[in-house]
Chain A
Amino acid sequence: MSNISVKLSNISKAYHVRRKPHRAFLSGRLLGLFNSADSRHEDDRMWALRNLSFELEHGESVGFIGPNGAGKSTLLKILARITTPTSGSGFISGRVGSLLEVGSGFHPDLTGRENIFLNGSILGMTRREINAKLEQIIDFSGVEHQLEMPVKFYSTGQYTRLGFAVAAHLESEILIVDEVLSVGDAQFQTKCKDKMRSLTNEGRTILFVSHSSDMVIEICTKAIWLNNGQIVDISDPKSIVSKYERWANAEPSVAVSV
Chain B
Amino acid sequence: MEIWDYRELVENLAWRDLTTRYRQTALGIGWAVIQPLLTMLVAAACFGRVMHASANGTAYPIFVFSGLLLWQYFSAAVTRASNSILVVGGLIKKVYFPRSIAPIASVIPPLADFAIAFVLMIALMIMYHIPFQTRMLLAPLFVVHAWMLAMGVGFWAAALHVKYRDICHIIPFFLQLAMFASPIFYATRTIPQELQWLYFINPLFGIIDGFRWSIVGTAAPSTPSVAVSLVVSLLLLISGAIYFRLREQDFADYV
* A interface with B by C-beta (< 8 Å): 15, 25, 28-29, 32, 34, 36, 77, 80-84, 96, 98, 100-101, 104-105, 107, 109-110, 117-118, 121-124, 126-127
Contact = CB atoms under 8 A, between A and B. Distances in A.
26 contacts: A15-B253, A28-B164, A29-B160, A77-B93, A82-B96, A84-B249, A84-B250, A98-B96, A101-B94, A104-B90, A105-B88, A105-B91, A107-B20, A109-B20, A109-B24, A110-B20, A117-B12, A118-B12, A121-B8, A121-B9, A122-B9, A122-B91, A122-B95, A122-B97, A124-B6, A126-B8
B6 to A, nearest CB: 7
A124 B7 CA distance: 10
A11 to B, nearest CB: 15
Interface in B131-188: 160, 163-164, 166
A100 B91 CA distance: 10
Closest 6 CB pairs of A and B: A81-B96, A101-B94, A25-B166, A83-B252, A100-B94, A84-B249
Contacts of A36: 250
Nearest to A83: B252
Highest count of chain B CB atoms <10 Å: which of A82, A83, A84, A100:
A82
Nearest to A25: B166
B91 A104 contact: yes
B12 A121 contact: yes
A83 B253 contact: yes
B16 A118 contact: yes
B6 A98 contact: no
A28 B164 CA distance: 9
Contacts of B12: 117-118, 121-122
A77 B93 CA distance: 8
Given A83-B252, A104-B91, A121-B11, 5 more contacts: A25-B164, A29-B164, A80-B96, A100-B93, A109-B24
B23 interface: yes
Nearest to B21: A109
A80 B8 contact: no
A122 B88 CA distance: 11
B93 A82 contact: yes
B160 A77 contact: no
B173 to A, nearest CB: 13
A127 B8 contact: yes
A12 to B, nearest CB: 14
A110 B9 CA distance: 16
B99 to A, nearest CB: 10
A82 B9 CA distance: 17
Main secondary structure of the interface of A (DSSP, over half): loop
Contacts of B223: none
B95 A80 contact: yes
A248 to B, nearest CB: 27
Contacts of A127: 8
A83 B91 contact: no
Interface string B236-255: 00000000001001101100
Interface string B88-108: 101111111100000000000
A82 B94 CA distance: 7
Nearest to B11: A121
B193 interface: no
A83 B249 contact: yes
A77 B182 CA distance: 45
Given A81-B96, A105-B95, A110 B166 contact: no
Contacts of A81: 96
B125 to A, nearest CB: 36
Given A29-B164, A83-B252, A121-B8, A110 B16 contact: yes
B161 to A, nearest CB: 11
A98 B95 CA distance: 7
Given A98-B94, A110-B16, A118-B12, A83 B164 contact: no
Contacts of B252: 77, 82-83
B23 A109 contact: yes
Contacts of B23: 109
Contacts of A34: 246
B22 to A, nearest CB: 10
B95 A100 contact: yes
Contacts of B88: 105
Nearest to A122: B95
A96 B97 CA distance: 11
Contacts of B6: 121, 124
A161 B59 CA distance: 59
